[in-house]
Each structure stands twice: as structure tokens, then as C-alpha cells.
Structure 1
Amino acid sequence: MRSQFLLAVLLALASTLSAQQPPQTNSSVLDANGTAHITRVIPVPTTISSEAQTSLRRPADAEHQTRAERRTTTDAWQTRAGEASRKAYPVNIESLTIANVPVRNILPLEDKHPDHVLINVHGGGFNSDSGSFTESIPIANLTHTRVVSVLYRLAPEHPFPAAVDDTIAVYRELLKTYKPAHIALYGTSAGAILTAEVAVRLKQLNLPLPAALGIFSGMGDFSQNGDSWSMYALRGLTGSLPVAGTQPRSTEYTGTTDPKDPVLSPLYADLHGMPPTLFITSGRDILLSGTGILHRAFLRSGDDARLIVFEALPHAFWNDISLPETKEAYGYMADFFSQRLNR
């Protein structure tokens, strides 16, 4: 009896240990609906920098924060990351209010283009600020151009179209000083989405469009998720990966607006005549599909739209200035804006 008990304990222990081991084989089974149930072993690729390989080996941070906790931790991180960015890309920073909207005024140490301005709308899921420093400081330094980062009102307290309205208010005010041919608008993640939304709304209002757009890891359709949304988390292949379709769609930002509203979801807008636009994404970006789909919509409309896809890296990787790929990405962004505004 005792030996049978010990054998049962050992078998149970072995089963537990086996369950804790990651799978070592690939498998894929399609169910009746065509949904793929996949077990896939994906090593860290050698096609990226050693620094990026190290980054991919790090597990995701703790998730399931409250909104207040997310804002607190994101603000603290953005301050630290902004300081690091400023050491690598020296600039001067001011806090201003333009058209009653708070902004960060990022000034290059040598302003070679005083008649030019870049407008940044930061990322952060529309409910926090994860980019007003990190998205603006390197670009101001590299382009030698003023960057105004709009601190638009956040959701869910201020759902769509509050962020669009705030950005357009700043844009209108800057039009009093700068020619539209000397203005560019860009953003990452939520800011990339907002960039396209603002451009569509400017066209509806018959306001002159800026000379260039930068849509860096975004999308243009709130009515449905792209394929990459089912495969990746914010940190790529680490972190919470809920089964697609099992979670209710968030309406924090969209509110009661129709998901196919052409401003909220520019994929359904008339995109003909959009400014030249640079799209950037990466191979493990949760918004890889969204970026690619919107890029193709610009192409179908006859617009000048170019797309750069970085290998293997997760969503908005360029917020990590330690990566060589980040330096490369900033270079593409800065060169694109400089070329368009200096014509």
C-alpha cells in the first residue's frame, strides 16, 4: 500500500513538473471555424542586435494595474526615460499652453529651422502619457527643429473626440505662425492612431494639411482587430496573451461613437490627398496588422505612403534608446521629416 502511495505521489509530481515545462514541439490544429490552436517554439532571432536579443529575453512587467497605478508608473517611467533621452539627444524643454491646451515645447540646442515645427501626439493607450518626452526629444535633436508635444485630454474621462479637438486647436494656433508646408504631425501607438484621425478631421474642416505625417505603430479601424492582435501582447511574445474574442472591446476612448466613424477609424474615410506619410512597425508588434492595413489604404487612395517593418521587435520598441534599432528608427523618422519640410 505504501509503495502504491509513493508511486502515485511521484507520478503526480512528474505530471506537475511536466506541465510547468514549456513545450518543445510545434503543433497547429484548425477547428471547425478555422481558428488555429497553436503551440509554437520561437527562439530569440539572431537577425537583430545583441541588445535587442537581450531585450526580448526579458519577461513582461506586472500587468493588471488600475488606471491610477498605470498613470503613476507610466509618468514615472516617462520622466526617467526622458532624462535618458535628453542625455543622448540634448535639447531644451519648456512647459507651455497653446490654445488652452498644455504642451511640452522641445527646443533643439541649435534651431536651424526656426520657421518649421513638428507636432507630436504621444502614445499611452489614450489614457496615459507614455511618449511626450521619448517621442519628441530625439526628433527635435536630430532635425534641429522645434517639437510641440500635445498633452491632450485623456480617456476615459475625456473620450473621443477630445484628443482630436485638442490637437486641432494647437494646430490651428500654430498655423498663425507657421506655414502648413513647414509643419509635420506624428505619433506612436495611440498617437499614431490620433495622427491619422486628426489628418482626416483637418480635411473635413477644409483646413490646410501639414506637409508630412508619421504613423508609428498605429491602426485605423476600431471596428475590428487585425491578425497581429491575436498573436502578440504589448511586449511581443511575453506577457498576457488572452484568446482573441474572449474579452469585451474597450470603449474607454471610443465612447458611444460608431466604431466605423471615418474620423475615429480613418480606414473608412476619404484618404485621397493625405500628406506624404511614413509608417513604421515591427515583426512582433501587436499593431503590425493595423499599421500595414492603414498603409495599404493610403496606397489605394493614391497617397505617398512608405512602410518600414523592423525585424522581431515588439510594439513601440523605439522608446528604448539603448537599442541600435532605436537609433536607426529615429534616423528614418528625422530624415523623412527633414526632407519633406525642407522642400
Structure 2
Amino acid sequence: MKLLFVALLLAATSSAQTTAAQAPTKDTSFVDADGTARITRVIPVPPDLSPEAKKLLSRPDSDANTPEPLAQRRSRTDEWQEGAGKKSQQIYPVNIEKTTIAGVPVRVFTPIHPTTSNADRVLINLHGGGFNSDSGSLTESIPLANLAKVKVVAVLYRLAPEHPYPAALDDAIAVYKDLLKTYKPEHIAIYGTSAGAILTAEVAVKLKQLSLPMPGALGIFSGMGDLDRMGDSMAMYALRGLSGHLDPPTGQHDKDYLAATSPRDPVVSPVYADLHGMPPSLFITSGRDLLLSGTTILHRAYLRAGNDAQLIVFEGLPHAFWNQTGLPETEECYDYMSKFFIAKLGLK
């Protein structure tokens, strides 16, 4: 069986890529007096993953420390998102229009064969991309518009570091308030992946603070609700799971997005907010997701507040794997998402 090798938690970081000869071949573990673990693990590929998912996990990814300039990251992400969006549309055909709502640029996705009974329902997508790029306005929206047979509005919110918090939040709230002029709040759902999942939870808290009506459902897909701590999974997994460069955890999350805002602000970190009365919410993450801890911590906070909160965890897959078109697990994941929104919004 193919093995994946990973050195985790406070291992010495080198600017050079680890070679096969240097990779660990057995488990090691040492725990400091304060509980800090210094470990290596040899981890087999889960046998029940699809062949496509196993191929994804076996993709080479250097662990060398090679920082990527933001302009290059954005260019690369835009190119990837455009290509992945075209592949997604081949599987899930939809109509796409780029326009503005409340002065905010958006992409609007509608079914090829719309259902009249769903015309008064809408989903709002808040895309991922680390708050500094767009890694999901196409791939996160196209499947749900097709499967749920409903309009999806993807908010192209302003990005950090040029526009730190609360710019993205303000844009999302502005679009929601405008849609309330046409749609009943119980007929609107808000969802997002990664940064968009974080933003989704932030929007819900802000709506409560503003005494605005809550949407009918939330989708928090690989997110977090506490930007003041990294969580175990961020110390163990890189963006692609067990491969790639990973630094030991250093403290709070995403300083470019927060700027001068405290990471314990109850809007940016909803675990510190009053979460009573949140809409029915679906949480999704995966076993090798760097935001596995963040997603499950926020899910438990929702449960403690007495909310209707479901959690699905996929085995062995990396962060936001559902953006990878062509995986059977991606199809399964979007099936769960669409059925959740169909049930909560009364879609036909």
C-alpha cells in the first residue's frame, strides 16, 4: 500500500525539500513537559477512498519553504478557478451572469431549466480564498445551482490586505439586505467554504446584532469560529493535507484580514458571540483538513447554544476537497449540501 510520510508539530523547518532518503519510515513521539508534541507519523492512504481521491493524495507537493507573492497567488488562483469552473459546468450545466447587487459585484447562477416553485428562493455563496483571492465563486456555486435547481448569488466581496475587516462582511451584508427586498428571509440560505465559511458565520452574528431577520439556513463548509487560536489540525495539516510546507503554529489566524480588529471580537470569532437562535446549519470538513479543528469547535459552539447543527466529516481528504471536480467524494459532498438546502428552504 502506498504510504504518505509526514513530519509534524514543531519539526525543524528547512528551505530545502525533504528527499525520500530523509523521510521518516517509522513513528516517533516525544512530548515536552508543557504537553507540546514533537512527532513523526507514517500514515497509509485510507483504503475506502475512490481511485481519483487516492491519486489526488499521491500528487507530489514540495515541503520547501517557498513563499508566493500575493499577485502571483491571485493570478494562479484565478486561472485555476476559471478552468475548474468550466469543468464543473460540464458536469452541472447552469447559466452564469456577472452583475452588481447593492453596488457589490456578484456572479448569478441560474438553472438551465428553472423550477417555477423555486423562483422565490435564493442561495448566497461567500467564496473561499483566504480572504485575499477568489478560489470558489464558480466551483462552489455551479453545482448547487444545478442540483438544488435554484438561483445562487456569489458575492465577489472586497479582498484583504487592501480591504481588511469589515470590508468583506459589509459587502455580504449589503447583498443580503438588498435580496431581502425580494425574498423572504426564510427563503434565503448563506453558505461558504474556508474563508467564505468563516465569513458566513460572521454574517450570521452581525445580522443578529443588527436585529435583521435571519436566513433560513447556513452552510459552514471547512471554516472556523475562533481566529485567536490555530487548533490542532492547523499544526498537523497544510493546505493539501499531509503534503506541502508547514510551519509550526504561531498564534492568531489571518492578521492581514483582521488588521487592527481583535481576534476575540465576537463577530470575527463567533465562538465569543451569543449564538442562540442561529439558523439550521450544515458543517462539513474532512480528516486531513487544516480547518478540521476550527469547523468542529464552531459546530460544538452551535450545539451548546441549542441550534440545529449537523456535521459531516469525510475520511482522509484535504481542505475543501469539494473544489476538485471529478472526485466521487466531491459529487457525494455536493449531494449532501444540495439536499440540506432543499429541505431547509422547501425547494422542489
SS in 2 for 1:149: strand
State the distance in 1 between where 2:19 and 2:79 align: 40
Is 1:193 paired with 2:198? yes
Contact 2:155–2:172 under 8 Å retained in 1: yes
Contact 2:230–2:253 under 8 Å retained in 1: no
- For residues 214-240 of structure 1, what are the alpha-carbon distances to aligned partners after superposition, in whole Å with 9 as ceiling and x for unaligned? 000000011111110110001000001
Residue of structure 2 equivalent to 1:238: 243
Is 1:132 paired with 2:137? yes
Gap change, CA 1:120 and 1:249, over 3 Å in 2: closer
TM-score by length of structure 1 reads 0.92
Residue of structure 2 equivalent to 1:6: none
State the distance in 1 between where 2:172 and 2:324 align: 26
In structure 2, which of residues 181, 187, 191 is the aligned counterpart of residue 176 of structure 1?
181
State the distance in 1 between where 2:47 and 2:199 align: 34
Aligned residues, how many?
326
Gap change, CA 1:206 and 1:22, over 3 Å in 2: same
In structure 2, which of residues 209, 212, 215 is the aligned counterpart of residue 207 of structure 1?
212
Let me know the Cα RMSD of the aligned residues: 1.6
SS in 2 for 1:280: strand
Measured after TM superposition, the shift of residue 34 of structure 1 is 1.4
Residues 1-343 of structure 1: pairs in structure 2 closer than 5 A: 20-60=21-61, 64-112=67-115, 113-245=118-250, 250-342=254-346
Measured after TM superposition, the shift of residue 18 of structure 1 is 9.4
Gap change, CA 1:160 and 1:171, over 3 Å in 2: same
State the distance in 1 between where 2:72 and 2:229 align: 28
State the distance in 1 between where 2:19 and 2:240 align: 26
Give the stretch that moved more between structures: 30-39 or 49-58.
30-39
State the distance in 2 between where 1:264 and 1:67 align: 23
* Equivalent position amino acid for 1:53 in 2: K
SS in 2 for 1:202: helix
Measured after TM superposition, the shift of residue 19 of structure 1 is 8.2
Residue of structure 1 equivalent to 2:13: none
State the distance in 2 between where 1:304 and 1:259 align: 26
- For residues 183-207 of structure 1, what are the alpha-carbon distances to aligned partners after superposition, in whole Å with 9 as ceiling and x for unaligned? 0000000000000000000010010
* Equivalent position amino acid for 1:239 in 2: G
Gap change, CA 1:211 and 1:250, over 3 Å in 2: closer
State the distance in 1 between where 2:185 and 2:218 align: 12
* Equivalent position amino acid for 1:20 in 2: A
Superposed structure 1 runs of 4+ greater than 3 Å apart = 247-250
State the distance in 2 between where 1:147 and 1:18 align: 45
TM-score by length of structure 2 reads 0.91
SS in 2 for 1:328: helix
List alignment gaps of at least 5 residues for structure 1: 1-16
Measured after TM superposition, the shift of residue 248 of structure 1 is 7.8
State the distance in 1 between where 2:335 and 2:283 align: 14
State the distance in 2 between where 1:90 and 1:111 align: 12
State the distance in 2 between where 1:209 and 1:315 align: 28
* Equivalent position amino acid for 1:88 in 2: I
Measured after TM superposition, the shift of residue 302 of structure 1 is 0.3
State the distance in 1 between where 2:178 and 2:132 align: 25
- For residues 32-60 of structure 1, what are the alpha-carbon distances to aligned partners after superposition, in whole Å with 9 as ceiling and x for unaligned? 22111111111212121111111100023
* Equivalent position amino acid for 2:79 in 1: A
SS in 2 for 1:283: strand
Q: Percent identity, aligned pairs only?
A: 64
* Equivalent position amino acid for 1:202 in 2: L
Measured after TM superposition, the shift of residue 65 of structure 1 is 1.1
SS in 2 for 1:75: helix
Measured after TM superposition, the shift of residue 267 of structure 1 is 0.6
State the distance in 1 between where 2:258 and 2:179 align: 27
State the distance in 2 between where 1:248 and 1:223 align: 4
State the distance in 2 between where 1:58 and 1:47 align: 18
Contact 2:227–2:253 under 8 Å retained in 1: no
* Equivalent position amino acid for 2:235 in 1: S
Residue of structure 2 equivalent to 1:3: none
State the distance in 1 between where 2:344 and 2:237 align: 33
State the distance in 2 between where 1:290 and 1:342 align: 30
